[in-house]
Amino acid sequence: MPLSEHEQKLLEQLEKQLHEDDPKFANSMGSDPGRSWSTRHVVIGVLGALAGVFLLLVGVTLQNIFVGVLGFVVMGGGVYFATMRSSRGTPGTKAGGGKPGKQRSSFMSTLEERWDERRRGEP
């Protein structure tokens, strides 16, 4: 069901206000054009998941726990690989995108600072 014209205007106003109030948060919540689904990852991941299901069924048929667990692990790895997104950012960067740990810690520290400010009653 499409939004009415009034609802679309309200949504645009809310989005504009969010970008004005907190541009970092608005950009982090938006879709990242540098990250996209990779067909290669999806195909390989689905094939891996199917191989895992096959191993799992073979393990159940043979009543071999090791083969069944191995099949489950392969299946999980295939699903994980299929859902990974490839980075198509600036040339010279790796697919991982740099230092995710550092970005995450700065993001968390920013959130903690904001939480502390709110608890103290500061704007």
What pLDDT is attached to residue 31?
A: 54
Q: Is the model more confident about 29 or about 72?
A: 72
State pTM to two decimals: 0.46
pLDDT of residue 62: 93
- The whole-angstrom separation of Cα 24 and Cα 21 is 9
DSSP structure string for 44-85: HHHHHHHHHHHHHHHHHHHT-HHHHHHHHHHHHHHHHHHH-E
Nearest to 85 by CA among 49, 38, 40, 31: 38
